[in-house]
Amino acid sequence: MPRHVAIIMDGNGRWAEDQDQARATGHREGVRSVRDITEACAQLGVPYLTLYTFSTENWERPDWEVNALMSLLVKTVRKERQRLLENGVRLRTIGDTSALPSACRRELDETADVTAGNERLTLSLALSYSGRWDLARAAREIARRARNGDLAPDDVDEALVSDLLSTSALPDPDLLIRTGGEQRLSNFLLWEGAYAEMLVTDRHWPAFRREQLYDAVREFQDRDRRFGRVADQQNASQQKAPQQNVSQQNASQQQAEPAAP
């Protein structure tokens, strides 16, 4: 079972166009997918879910669409707060949230505070985020410490860079899913996703629900993750403890477990 699933939620607008609906309708329907995928991850026992919600590049979209997205974010976070709290889901954000409207920051901060003790699932929303922004921010902090004499060149290693990223509290993603069919990372988790298994689906985000997540996890479980090693080395390093697959996990949780949002 992947420990950390990260998703590039793409295709809201194209889904709406296919339905002869306004783009805003696609974004609202995308919220339903967020609820369903969050619930499915919690039920499967995936402890970390990160959703690429709004990139730094998305600020270049038309003002009306940006405003609609920010308004939808405020309403959704406010509406889902109690459900998150009741179902053991912790909400956190990564990215330059200082760029968000004050109403968004307020709702996000309040929800993060009240859910901080939850441990069932950590749901991270990447907002005003880009991988390059995060790496540049880490580089500036390294330069500042070096200038102050607190850091020597030999002190700079991968662990230090990881600790300075906004994702430092999260494990690296095991499975990175992109909906909408595009074959690119779009500046998402560039450092953290070095060894993530990637899966691209043609389904637009509003049409990606738990059944598609189950399929993605099954494919992940069928892959051989070598991390640069040859097959014999990988096989020798793996522990032989049996692992429950997604079908078994799903079947074992059909009884009434409280649903995450």
Tell me what the mean pLDDT of segment 230-257 comes to: 56
Please state which of the ranges 1-5, 24-28, 207-211, 256-260 shows the lowest mean pLDDT.
Answer: 256-260
Strand duo 121-129 + 89-94: pairing: parallel
Q: What is the pLDDT of residues 57-96, one digit of tens each?
A: 999 999 999 999 999 999 999 999 999 998 899 999 999 9
- Reduced to 3 states (helix: H, G, I; strand: E, B; else coil), residue 28 is helix
Supply 136's token pair: 């540049």
> Could you give the CA distance from residue 130 to residue 57 in angstroms, rounded to a whole number?
8
Supply 145's token pair: 């410490």
Whether residue 96 lies in the annotated active site: no
Instruction: Report the pLDDT value the prediction gives residue 245, as an integer from 0 to 100.
Output: 65
Residue among 200, 245, 137 nearest 10 (CA): 200
> Could you give the CA distance from residue 241 to residue 239 in angstroms, rounded to a whole number?
6
Confidence category of residue 261, pLDDT binned at 50, 70, 90: very low
Strands of 118-259, DSSP E: 121-129, 175-178, 197-200
Q: Looking at 98-154, list the stretches that DSSP marks H as alpha helix, in order from N- to C-terminal side.
A: 102-114, 131-147
Catalytic residue among 18, 36, 58, 224: 58
Per-chain mean pLDDT for the chain: 91
Contact assessment for residue 67 and residue 239, using Cβ atoms and an 8 Å cutoff = no
Whether residue 10 lies in the annotated active site: yes
- Reduced to 3 states (helix: H, G, I; strand: E, B; else coil), residue 53 is strand
- The CATH number of the domain covering residues in 4-223+244-252: 3.40.1180.10
- The answer, yes or no, to whether residue 258 has pLDDT greater than 50, is no
Instruction: Report the pLDDT value the prediction gives residue 126, as an integer from 0 to 100.
Output: 99
Instruction: Report the pLDDT value the prediction gives residue 13, as an integer from 0 to 100.
Output: 94
> Could you give the CA distance from residue 70 to residue 41 in angstroms, rounded to a whole number?
25
Please state which of the ranges 91-95, 175-179, 209-213, 254-258 shows the lowest mean pLDDT.
Answer: 254-258
Please state which of the ranges 19-23, 103-107, 135-139, 236-240 shows the lowest mean pLDDT.
Answer: 236-240
- The answer, yes or no, to whether residue 246 has pLDDT greater than 50, is yes
Instruction: Report the pLDDT value the prediction gives residue 257, as an integer from 0 to 100.
Output: 44
Supply 61's token pair: 């979209």
Confidence category of residue 44, pLDDT binned at 50, 70, 90: very high
Which residue ranges make up each domain of the chain? 4-223+244-252
- The answer, yes or no, to whether residue 230 has pLDDT greater than 80, is no
- Does 49 or 85 have the greater pLDDT score? 49
Q: What is the pLDDT of residues 136-183, one digit of tens each?
A: 999 999 999 999 999 999 999 999 999 999 999 999 999 999 999 999
Catalytic residue among 10, 36, 134, 174: 10
